[in-house]
């Protein structure tokens, strides 16, 4: 059995000093050593991932602004769509505790949705406006074509009818009459049929008007141009010079037609070929 050491610190077997008082308290030993506190490692706190929410908010604002500018609606859909996507990602991170800006993410999703709606509205509005403009343009073109067709139709007449040009000259072409050239006629071949075309021009305006081209063109039934007949009989008269207001000028012209194409002719005439389109008179010669 092990014997515990005496309280005075003596080893077993050592002799006690003479003045030792066995009943005195033990002498105090050396002071206990003081241990330095163990250093603690710093606890790292993860940073919040707020980038998605911020990006969603910024892109949502950009999408709404571009959508409100009608001419830039086609640019608003992309930032608005990205705002919705980034906002949804930001909300997911906020639910997991990885982000602290849930409100920004929600605002980005809402603004992105508004931007998409404005982009769709701008597209619909643009389509409607363009369609109306196109319809209006087509209607105007149709009116112009109809007016041109009506004007062109009005310039095609029968013999004896009148057409008034924009300078106020009213032109009438009578039905062609047979014409017998003299022996010295030029432009008439033997066997052809010669006809005389009478053109009457009346000035219905208030100012005198000059007749720049008083010579008509005649086409036979086959569409070929007839040849002008010139002789020395003095029966032909060319309209030249000015026609005074309320006055008239009469021109008479002879043309030679092939016998097989002389049953129907067309007379083409304009008092000023540089300014006004020709009018046409058509009909049989018999």
pLDDT attached to residue 235: 87
Beta strand ranges found along the chain (DSSP E): 156-158, 162-164, 169-173, 177-178, 193-203, 209-211, 217-219, 227-229, 241-243, 248-257, 264-269, 279-284
Q: How far apart are CA 280 and CA 261, in angstroms?
A: 18
Could you state, in order of their start, the residue ranges of all structural domains in the chain?
A: 51-138, 157-284
Q: How far apart are CA 217 and CA 98, in angstroms?
A: 94
SS3 label, residue 73: helix
- Mark 111-123 as b/e (b = at least 16 C-beta within 10 Å): bbbbbbebbeebe
Q: Is pLDDT at 84 greater than 70 in this prediction?
A: yes
Q: How far apart are CA 63 and CA 112, in angstroms?
A: 7
Q: Are strands 264-269 and 217-219 parallel, antiparallel or unpaired?
A: antiparallel
The pLDDT tens digits for 182-225 are 888 888 888 889 999 999 999 999 999 998 876 899 998 788 88
pLDDT attached to residue 73: 73
3-state helix, strand, coil in the chain (%, to 5): 35, 20, 45
Q: How far apart are CA 218 and CA 198, in angstroms?
A: 12
SS3 label, residue 186: strand
157-284 classified as CATH 3.40.640.10: no
The pLDDT tens digits for 30-78 are 655 555 565 665 666 567 778 888 998 899 899 888 888 867 777 888 8
Q: How far apart are CA 83 and CA 77, in angstroms?
A: 10
pLDDT attached to residue 38: 57
Nearest to 197 by CA among 223, 218, 169: 218
Residues 6+ apart with CB under 8 A from 10: 16
The pLDDT tens digits for 124-152 are 888 898 999 999 999 998 888 888 788 88
């Amino acid at each position: 059995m092990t014997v515990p050491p005496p309280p005075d610190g003596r080893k077993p077997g050592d002799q006690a000093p003479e003045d030792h008082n066995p009943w005195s308290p033990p002498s105090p030993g050396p002071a206990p050593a003081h241990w330095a506190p163990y250093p603690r490692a710093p606890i790292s706190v993860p940073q919040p991932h707020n980038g998605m929410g911020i990006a969603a908010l910024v892109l949502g604002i950009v999408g709404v602004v571009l959508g409100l500018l009608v001419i830039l609606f086609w640019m608003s859909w992309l930032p608005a769509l990205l705002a919705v996507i980034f906002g949804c990602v930001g909300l997911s991170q906020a639910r997991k505790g990885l982000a602290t800006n849930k409100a920004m993410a929600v605002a980005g999703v809402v603004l992105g949705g508004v931007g998409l709606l404005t982009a769709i509205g701008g597209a619909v509005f643009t389509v409607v406006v363009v369609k109306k403009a196109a319809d209006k343009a087509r209607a105007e073109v149709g009116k112009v074509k109809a007016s041109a067709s009506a004007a062109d139709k009005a310039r095609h007449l029968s013999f004896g009818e009148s057409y008034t040009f924009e300078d106020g000259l009213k032109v009438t072409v009578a039905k062609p009459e047979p014409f017998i050239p003299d022996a010295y006629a030029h432009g008439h071949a033997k066997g052809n049929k010669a006809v005389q075309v009478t053109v009457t021009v009346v000035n219905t305006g208030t100012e005198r008007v000059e007749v720049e081209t008083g010579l008509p063109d005649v086409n036979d039934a086959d569409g070929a141009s007839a040849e002008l007949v010139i002789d020395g009989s003095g029966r032909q008269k060319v309209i030249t010079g000015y026609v005074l207001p309320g006055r008239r000028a009469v021109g008479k012209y002879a043309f030679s037609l092939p016998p097989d194409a002389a049953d129907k002719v067309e007379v083409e005439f304009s008092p000023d070929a540089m300014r006004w389109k020709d009018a046409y008179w058509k009909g049989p010669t018999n």
